[in-house]
Amino acid sequence: MKKIILTSLVTTALMTQASFAEYKLGSFGTISPSISAASQKYSKGEISNRNQPTASVGLDYNSPMGIYLSASANAENSDPTNGPDYSIEYCLTPGIKKTFDKMSIDLSYENCELGSHATGFFQAKLGFELNKVTNIAVNYYNESSGGRKGADGRSEIGKEAYEAQVSYNTGPATVTAGYLIFDKLLQTASIGVSKEVAGISFDLSYYNVQAETNRSYVSQSTQNNIGTDHIIFSAKKSF
């Protein structure tokens, strides 16, 4: 039986309709600082931060031309018995987002540094407003910093990821369903509900993660660790 883990998704691509506070910089655009709290850290089907509670602080800049820059510092504790020592992950994401009628295009590059190791993802996202309450999105991710090797020591795994999402605003809350394929690593189906209460954005989601079964790519022990279910709760406050 798969283990049900209470965790949190702090930075995710879910399409919610929560409003964010902004500080205007005149004709230069706006900035939005934020803080997040989480019981555990989750991203693209995988849990990190040694399964411990995590926190994050962030700052988002948006220009009138659609250019933006997101920065965050996230708790990410290393295992002292394995590898280098670190406690914070720093991420910087420059990008540009344009809206054409009911379609949006978002192109960005996410770079995260963890100790001496850096990971980068080129990201392309398309959003479509079907009607006033229904949105769909398709996202593409390309790992650009060397990726990782499979269990056979030769195969490249986790290089590309594909994601599809649909969200529906019920009025009291927004329901989002999605499916993520991480090439030669895992597949994830999800469904969640999000709502803003007193200026705080809450999200509760269920994720079913299935690991790649080809042992040339993913070893049996890694399959056992990745393939599981997650109940994920997150809270975020923008100022």
Above 90 in pLDDT, residue 22?
Answer: no
Q: How many CA atoms lie within 13 A of 237 on its CB side?
A: 9
Q: For 73-105, what is each residue's pLDDT tens digit? A: 999 887 666 666 778 999 999 999 999 999 999
Look at the chain and report how many structural domains it folds into: 1
Given a contact cutoff of 8 angstroms between Cβ atoms, the answer to whether 91 and 71 are in contact is yes
pLDDT of residue 128: 98
Average pLDDT in the 144-148 region?
80
User: Average pLDDT, whole number, for the chain?
Assistant: 87
d(CA 31, CA 95): 15
The CATH number assigned to the domain holding 156 equals 2.40.160.40
CA angle, corner 183, sides to 181 and 187, nearest 5? 30
Burial of 161 (0-12, 13-18, 19+ CB in 10 A): buried
The full length of the chain comes to: 239
Residue 197 sits in which domain range? 4-238
Flag whether the pTM goes above 0.95: no
The sign of the dihedral angle between the CA atoms of 98, 100, 102, 105 is negative
**Start-to-end CA span in the chain (Å):** 42
Percent above pLDDT 70 for the chain: 88
- Counting DSSP H helices and E strands in the chain, the numbers are 1, 18
Question: Residue 206's pLDDT band (boundaries 50, 70, 90)?
Answer: very high
Evaluate if residue 186 carries a pLDDT over 50.
yes
In the predicted model, what is the mean pLDDT of residues 17-29?
73
Q: What is the model's pLDDT at position 17? A: 37
Token reading at 103: 């379609």
The per-residue pLDDT for 81 is 62
